[in-house]
Amino acid sequence: MQLRRLTIEDTAFAMGAAHVFKGRFPESDVMEDFLASSQNILLIAEEEGMPLGFLLAYRLARWDQALPMMFVYEVEVLEMYRRRGIGRTLIREIQRISRQTGCIKLFLITNASNEAAMALYAATGWRYSADDDVLLTHDLA
């Protein structure tokens, strides 16, 4: 298995990976814009050109301090490749990138009922920051 951070040069591969994981192809200019930003991180675990898993994260600047934080937005491994250490490898890589780019902290949001995610995050050093964390959303459409 190979792990790599995709860049704008990987747009075609990223488009194919989006189709594998999301069932659709995004607009190529949207993908190019996403990959062109150094604040956006798309890690892909692959084997012989086949994407097996991905991690999507955003490096977020802070207004109150010089050190940024890393928001891990999504981690997914194809079902047939789960429980092989791919998720752990992706998490360890974003932890490495976060340290390398001067982030003070990583954070993510998941559901306590998602047992697989909770086990992955616990195994890679994540912990609850508060028992009463809440995620609120507001649709703009």
What pLDDT score does 112 carry? 81
Q: How far apart are CA 137 and CA 46, in angstroms?
A: 32
- Segments in the chain below pLDDT 70: 138
Query: How confident is the model over 30-55, as pLDDT tens digits?
Result: 999 999 999 999 999 999 999 999 99
Q: Edge to edge, what strands does the sheet with 69-77 contain?
A: 2-5, 40-47, 50-60, 69-77, 105-108
Q: How far apart are CA 67 and CA 37, in angstroms?
A: 18
> Phi, psi at residue 137, to the nearest 5°?
-130, 160
What pLDDT score does 14 carry? 97
The pair of three-digit structure tokens given for residue 17, joined into one six-digit string: 């990976």
- DSSP code per residue over 46-95: EETTEEEEEEEEEEE--SSSSS-EEEEEEEEE-GGGTTSSHHHHHHHHHH
What pLDDT score does 94 carry? 96
pTM of the model: 0.89
Domains of the chain: 2-123 (3.40.630.30)
What pLDDT score does 138 carry? 67
DSSP annotation of 27 reads P
